[in-house]
């Protein structure tokens, strides 16, 4: 049986891909990119999950054999920071495009490029 986490993560990736491919507004495309990145992070974390084990924090009574896989968590912690940096840079580029062309429609921007 497929885990519900896999279903949710792949659904988020597909919804974000739909927004990137179909929508015309630049900010809506960036919202789709952010949703897609959240889906990829959720997929990575759910791959490392082992059912019935606890968080990988070594404390009283919890040894290394009773914790989930900590490597995807470190990977995702890096990927979240990279994602928010990418989103902030793309939003500043979108603001500069709006100041230069006065629109956010990507077809208009392609027509006005000159």
Partner 1 sequence: MNGITFIEYLIVGLMVVSAILAVEWRDLLAAAVGMAAVSLFASLLFFMLQAPDVAMTEAAIGAALSAAVFIFAIKRTQRFETEEEEKPGWWVRW
Catalog residues that contact partner 1 under the rule CB under 8 A. 4-5, 7-8, 11-12, 15-16, 18-19, 23-25, 27-28, 30-32, 34-35, 38, 41-42, 45-46, 49, 53-57, 67-68, 73, 76-77, 80-81, 84, 87-88, 91-92, 94-95, 98, 103-105, 107, 111
- The CA R_g of the chain, rounded to the nearest whole Å, is 19
Report yes or no: 12 and 42 within 8 Å, Cβ to Cβ. Answer: yes
| DSSP states of 7-60 | HHHHHHHHHHHHHHHH--BHHHHHHHHHHHHHHHHHHHHHHS--TT-B-S--BT
| Residue 4 tokens, joined | 């519900």
């Amino acid at each position: 049986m497929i885990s519900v986490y896999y279903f949710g993560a792949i659904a988020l990736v597909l919804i974000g891909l739909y927004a990137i491919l179909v929508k015309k507004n630049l900010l809506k495309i960036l919202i789709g990119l952010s949703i897609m990145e959240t889906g990829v992070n959720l997929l990575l974390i759910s791959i490392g999950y082992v059912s019935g084990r606890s968080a990988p924090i070594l404390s009283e009574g919890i040894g290394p054999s009773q914790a989930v896989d900590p490597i995807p968590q470190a990977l995702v912690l890096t990927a979240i920071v990279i994602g928010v940096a990418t989103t902030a840079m793309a939003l500043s580029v979108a603001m500069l495009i709006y100041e230069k062309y006065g629109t956010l429609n990507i077809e208009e921007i392609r027509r006005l490029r000159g």
